Structure 1
Amino acid sequence: MKILALETSTDSGSVALLDGSTLTERQVPGSPGHSETLLPAVISLLHDCGVPLAGLDAIAFGAGPGAFTGLRLACGVAQGLAIGLGKPLIPVGTLEALASQCPDEAIFAAVDARMSEVYFAAYRRVQDGLVEVLPPACAVPGHVILPPSGMWFGFGTAFRAYQEVLVSGLGPRLGGFDGTPVPRASSIASLAAPRFVRGETLDPALAAPLYVRDKVAMTTVERLARGGKA
């Protein structure tokens, strides 16, 4: 089984290849929001691993939530490759991927959503993976909530960006936190593998990022009106 995974939901983009039991990961150089860096990283990874594009069994991508430009990029590149190669697509939630990187049993995954907001979700580790306890949501740091019971470990960049507000607001049931981890393509690939075996794949034509905010992107006209770039 050979699964290519793309993850560009944060500033730290990465690509990974799961080839049987061997998992190889590469960082995407520069900003993952630029398509000219992602595809060369994919080609370089496959070349180094001796796997041709046609030899892939499936393509997985970090579906979100996350940076809008990065989500669209990963989805678009994965979709294009899957359609061109006739391979199935496997979307994986970025907060689930992040939580899978934490060894704790009760994980509160939270990443900096920019615009003074946080993407967050909660998961419990079980024998065969993770169970979602709180679905992905978006809120200002002061309105972020834990599940109604239990102790939780905070995991993700939101705890670096908004440490004081989150620690104070979440209270004593936050047993600790690590504000450095970001979702990784290797985690996307690892979560995608059992889904591929179970046949839980997606028609590439139906691929779409998971947006949590009500308004996911401004139009070019709106951006220009606000002094931004087109």
Structure 2
Amino acid sequence: MSAKILALDTSTENCSVALMVNGQTYVRSEIAPRDHTKKILPMVDEVLKEAGISLNDLDALAFGRGPGSFTGVRIGIGIAQGLAFGADLPMIGISTLAAMAQGTYRVNAHTNVACAIDARMSEVYWGRFTRQDDGNWGVADSECVIPPAELVEHTQSDSLIWGHSGTGWDAYSDEFSGLALQLEKSDVLFPEAQDIAFLAQFEWENGNTVQAEEASPVYLRDKVAWKKLPGRE
């Protein structure tokens, strides 16, 4: 029997919540780049009411741990921690890039996925994933922040068809044009909470949870992001 998991993500322009319970998934999702703090909790209330359960009925709370917008990732983990503390729930952090890989499979049936989120500053958050027999994802390229030109220089060709997802492809289309991979465009631009909830089931089954105070984000560009804040070194 699958775990009852609430998932949320605010790491990109997309704001999304999903509740996976009793074989059903309840979803809310909206592109709202400046309204995450206004949208996310009402979405949580809506999916809980639709499913007819409360936070205290859940087994775990999953969240998009990044990479993504520095502010967005902080908002997401802060709200997730608050909910988890209130209901005494363990937490599960899921890579937003892996979630996009799952989304690309869900939407376009790609089993090999190259994910690139526009990270600004002429860089992308990058990762490549291959779907395993059990439905989980193996890592072909570990997540990193990197200029597209470096990817083009170091990526070797193979015989696979790679579905590509994320905002980085359009943002740096010229730079990516020389990438030595066979690519097919997908319809996925952002991570979705329903895919985070799906991946969180694997982590739950393997006992990979943390207490709320131990939940941590992944920025990939920690020093640069913190230096943007006044008084930070």
Report the TM-score when normalising by structure 1: 0.87
Kept in 1, the 8 Å contact 2:61–2:91? The answer is yes
Amino acid at match of 1:62: G
Q: 2:195 aligns with which of 172, 187, 199?
A: 187
- Quote the residue 1:70 is aligned against: 72
Deviation for aligned residue 1:37:
2.1
Q: 1:109 aligns with which of 105, 115, 130?
A: 115
- Quote the residue 2:171 is aligned against: 161
Amino acid at match of 2:64: G
Q: Distance in 2 between matches of 1:16 and 1:209?
A: 19
Q: Deviations over 1:102-141 (max 9, x none)?
A: 2223211111112332100111112012101111111222
Q: Distance in 2 between matches of 1:147 and 1:141?
A: 10
Amino acid at match of 2:166: G
Q: Deviations over 1:69-106 (max 9, x none)?
A: 11111111111111121111000000001011222232
Q: 1:77 to 1:198 in 2, by over 3 A?
A: same
Q: Distance in 1 between matches of 2:121 and 2:188?
A: 19
- Quote the residue 2:63 is aligned against: 61
Q: Distance in 1 between matches of 2:46 and 2:34?
A: 15
Kept in 1, the 8 Å contact 2:166–2:188? The answer is yes
CA RMSD in angstroms comes to 2.1
Q: 1:78 to 1:52 in 2, by over 3 A?
A: same
Q: 1:86 aligns with which of 66, 85, 88?
A: 88
Q: 1:212 aligns with which of 194, 197, 220?
A: 220
Identity %: 35
- Quote the residue 1:18 is aligned against: 20
Q: 2:146 aligns with which of 136, 139, 159?
A: 139
Deviant stretches of 4+, over 6 Å: none
Q: Distance in 2 between matches of 1:74 and 1:68?
A: 10
Kept in 1, the 8 Å contact 2:100–2:188? The answer is no
Q: Does 1:6 align with 2:15?
A: no
Q: Distance in 2 between matches of 1:86 and 1:119?
A: 32
Kept in 2, the 8 Å contact 1:61–1:75? The answer is yes
Q: Deviations over 1:23-49 (max 9, x none)?
A: 111014733664232112211221122
- Quote the residue 1:197 is aligned against: 205
Q: Distance in 1 between matches of 2:31 and 2:70?
A: 19
Amino acid at match of 2:148: P
Amino acid at match of 2:38: E
Q: Distance in 2 between matches of 1:32 and 1:88?
A: 28
Q: 1:96 aligns with which of 70, 95, 98?
A: 98
Amino acid at match of 2:176: L
Q: Distance in 2 between matches of 1:220 and 1:109?
A: 28
Instruction: Give the paired residue count.
Output: 221
Deviating more after overlay: 199-208 vs 213-222: 213-222
Amino acid at match of 2:137: L
Deviation for aligned residue 1:180:
4.3
Q: 1:130 to 1:165 in 2, by over 3 A?
A: same
Report the TM-score when normalising by structure 2: 0.86
Deviation for aligned residue 1:155:
2.0
Kept in 2, the 8 Å contact 1:60–1:192? The answer is yes
Secondary structure of residue in 2 paired with 1:104: coil
Q: Does 1:221 align with 2:227?
A: no
Q: Distance in 2 between matches of 1:83 and 1:178?
A: 37
